[in-house]
Amino acid sequence: MRYIEPHGHMVSRTTDDYEAMTLAGCRAVCEPAFWAGYDRSGPEGFYDYFCQLTDYEPKRAAKFGLPHFTWLCINPKESEDTTLAAEVISLIPKFLDRPNVLGIGEIGLNKNTRNELQVLEQHIDLAARHDQLILVHTPHLEDKFKGTRLILDALRADSRIKPERCIIDHVEEHTIQMVLDAGFWAGITLYPESKTTPPRAVDMFEVYGGQRVWLNSACDWGRSDPLAVPKTAIEMRRRGHSEETIDKLVFQNPIRFLGQNPRFTVR
């Protein structure tokens, strides 16, 4: 089996996880910027984090033969402070020419507030001005449905944004249809408790198809599983899906989306 982990917060994971992922067939890992579990005290903290994502973490992954890519932003959980957000967004262009940067992400909404929406629109503008791919985080649990609708409205309101260059992540059964109908890519995130389990992910693949869908573990500092994608591939085998079908979903589809950025050369 070969697969790509298109969404993993590897700064929160151990070197053992890198080794296990490599042994399971991982060929590349992509790391969106996210919340550290606490609020950073200022823009300098984000500057250091962006250095970590673009310099140190690729070297750590390389020790296990894994190409490491990243996405940059201020996470929606810290977007309520619009002054801080503006300062952080102003830092991002300096990092966009780093060789492992794929785009702007994971942007989006958390509690669906006015300030979060304002910062989301600033990120969308940043991506459009710099012709960047976009990776979107949709809110958790009870906030997901409303937040997904607001996010799609914000993206569609900017005529410079091409849906095929945006992936809306963490879709579930009540949001995947609206994402695909609007022409965007959909990310299915595999978590032990929230988001989606492997059987539900395969259900969605069977019901909605896999044309513009990827799977990811979004492994981070919380309860999560860096091997969730290969475990879901095993779930597909149990249901009788062919190796070709599995390969398309867990390897070829991420390449189709990420390969829109010429820096992503994994094949």
Interaction site with another protein (CB under 8 A):
35, 77, 80, 110-117, 139-146, 149-150, 172-174, 199-200, 203, 238-240
Residue 33: partners with Cβ closer than 8 Å, 6 or more residues away: 49, 50, 53, 70, 71, 72, 73, 74, 75, 105, 106
Shorter beta-carbon distance to another protein: residue 52 or 82:
82
Least Cβ distance, residue 127 to another protein (angstroms) = 20
Provide the CB-side half-sphere exposure for 128 (13 A, CA).
16
Shorter beta-carbon distance to another protein: residue 35 or 264:
35
- Enter the DSSP assignment of 242: -
Least Cβ distance, residue 170 to another protein (angstroms) = 12
Rounded to the nearest 10 degrees, the angle between the axes of helix 228-238 and helix 198-208 is: 60
Least Cβ distance, residue 118 to another protein (angstroms) = 9
CA 223 to chain centre: 17
Least Cβ distance, residue 17 to another protein (angstroms) = 25
Closest CA to 166 of 231, 233, 214: 214
Shorter beta-carbon distance to another protein: residue 5 or 106:
106
Shorter beta-carbon distance to another protein: residue 166 or 171:
171
- Enter the DSSP assignment of 78: G
235: which 2 tokens?
């779930």
Shorter beta-carbon distance to another protein: residue 22 or 197:
197
101: which 2 tokens?
């940067």
Least Cβ distance, residue 146 to another protein (angstroms) = 5
Cα separations (Å) of 265 from 27, 51, 102, 184, 187? Answer: 11, 22, 11, 22, 20
Shorter beta-carbon distance to another protein: residue 27 or 170:
170
Least Cβ distance, residue 29 to another protein (angstroms) = 26
